[in-house]
Amino acid sequence: MAKYLKRGEVAAFTDIEDNMRQVFHHEFSKNVYKNEIISMKQEGAITEEDLLIAKALFQFRFATLEQLHEAVGSSKNMNAFYSRLEKLLQYRIINKFMMTYGQEDHFQADAYTVYCLDIGGQSLLTHFWNVDDLLDWYYILNIVTGELVSRFLMITDIALSFSRTNPDQMDYFKANPNLRLGNQTMVPAFEICFRKGDHVTYFVGEVVRKQEKAIFREKALKWNRLLKTNTWKKYYHGDSDKPPVLLVVCGDDLTALYIGKVLTETAELDVFRLTTEERIKVPLYEKGVFMKYVPEQNQLKKTSIINFRPASTTAPAEETEE
């Protein structure tokens, strides 16, 4: 009997194992009638919400049904939204896949499902959304390891958490930005800009799953090179001489403790905050969502970040501003 992830079996995105592989609903094909897709949009058969779905999958690469529903702010109930995604599958605007251990070759109706952009979606966005990065999109970017599926879904969840917490002041969220460190490339999991009036604050982020903590030291040295030199100024032009605050989303608290120690001792960073996949499910300004590493006790201390608090809420007296 083939082994694949079924709906209800994924409590956390880290449950997607590194050795799993994707099985897509349909093969990616370049035989997409681009002019027909453009006409369907002009005639209303493809809606503005459909365009938002394609945008979200371009920005995040992967998303679940629930993540997509939230990302586009759909007013449809979940069943109706699912039915619409099935129609977009027929149009080749999107594709979907399940995760298997290798024996299964056909998409199963009861599988845990992840959505991605298809070639028709690129055609739609190219015509109706003017973004230069679309030129760098190829369907092969969707074919990745189980490790990357897990990471990308975590990044999508992080983006939604920030948007849910303080959408009015979040200027932008970008997944997997490419940064140059001399002759090296560095790809953080995400970067975020918050704007309060004329005040601009940047955050850069990393995702570290439980099984990745042993290989984090090399990446920590890159964070040192970015944030402890003036290299960060090439990318983040805020109104402060301080570098962006590093946010690390970990698989669990034990991983967060280990990463805090590594960033302090190896990267010699003193301004970073840690959280977990579970902790970011509540409003991000609440105390305890983020933690700071205290090297003297080798412990994590609960803290909060005032930048993430909407102007309409009252900050507690002990809140920490980054």
| pLDDT tens-place string over residues 78-134 | 999 999 999 999 999 999 999 998 777 899 999 999 999 999 999 999 999 877 778
| pLDDT tens-place string over residues 44-93 | 999 999 999 999 999 999 999 999 999 999 999 999 999 999 999 999 99
**CB-neighbour burial class of residue 153 (10 A; exposed 0-12, middle 13-18, buried 19+):** buried
pTM (predicted TM-score): 0.91
Say whether 148 sits in a helix, a strand or coil.
helix
Please identify which residue in the block is written with the tokens 């409003």. Answer: 283
Mean pLDDT of 10-34: 89
CA distances from 155 to 62, 76, 202, 222, 265 (A): 9, 24, 17, 20, 26
Instruction: Report pLDDT for 150.
Output: 94
Instruction: Report pLDDT for 142.
Output: 96
Tokens, residue 54: 């394609």
Domains within the chain, CATH numbers bracketed: 13-146 (1.10.10.10), 166-308 (no CATH)
Mean pLDDT of 24-31: 89
**CB-neighbour burial class of residue 141 (10 A; exposed 0-12, middle 13-18, buried 19+):** exposed
- As a whole number of angstroms, the distance between CA 77 and CA 230 comes to 49
Scored b (16 or more CB within 10 A) or e, 218-227 reads ebbebbebbb
The candidate with the shortest Cα–Cα distance to 161, out of 121, 205, 200, is 205
